[in-house]
Structure 1
């Protein structure tokens, strides 16, 4: 009798919220050049942007500007207001980790 083996790993390649549980929300985003995400916050969470393709400009609290590109991770507290502008077509993951 052949036994089915359940895989250990899960490949994720869809856009939007790909994980959302009590510890972590993982969002996969793709923006075309010039597209923006309006300023907002993520209170109670630590935020990590991981750029896998392209370049985005991240504005924190309307004053601090970070231009990040492929291979860069940006970390900031969720209490900061964050807005994003795609300098070029970009693909990135946002990890939102809930503080305990």
Structure 2
């Protein structure tokens, strides 16, 4: 496969915060089984949490828990406090879209 001199597309396979501009932040994470992301919020943003491998439990405002597996997307307002726990080794993308 040939790569163009001035590509239109951008392959993203790094981990961490991979895009951060005025419209969107994209975070790519991998957690080992049992690892957690402590509760936090993303005020002023809409959040789309997309699992690409494994299974995680996502808790919103310490009252709702969602068990998400590969191919699942969870949407929620950034004002909700979100915590994540990997049920098994997992990989996911979090799209944080800034409200206009």
Ranges in structure 1 where 5+ consecutive residues have no aligned partner: none
Counterpart check, 1:96 vs 2:96: yes
Q: Runs of 4 or more off by more than 6 Å in structure 1?
A: none
Ranges in structure 2 where 5+ consecutive residues have no aligned partner: none
Q: Distance in 2 between matches of 1:24 and 1:43?
A: 13
RMSD: 0.8
Q: Highest Rg: 1 or 2?
A: 1
Q: TM-score, structure 2 length as denominator?
A: 0.95
Q: TM-score, structure 1 length as denominator?
A: 0.95
- Which residue does the alignment assign to 1:82? 82
* Higher mean C-alpha deviation, range 4-13 or range 28-37: 4-13
Q: Distance in 2 between matches of 1:24 and 1:73?
A: 17
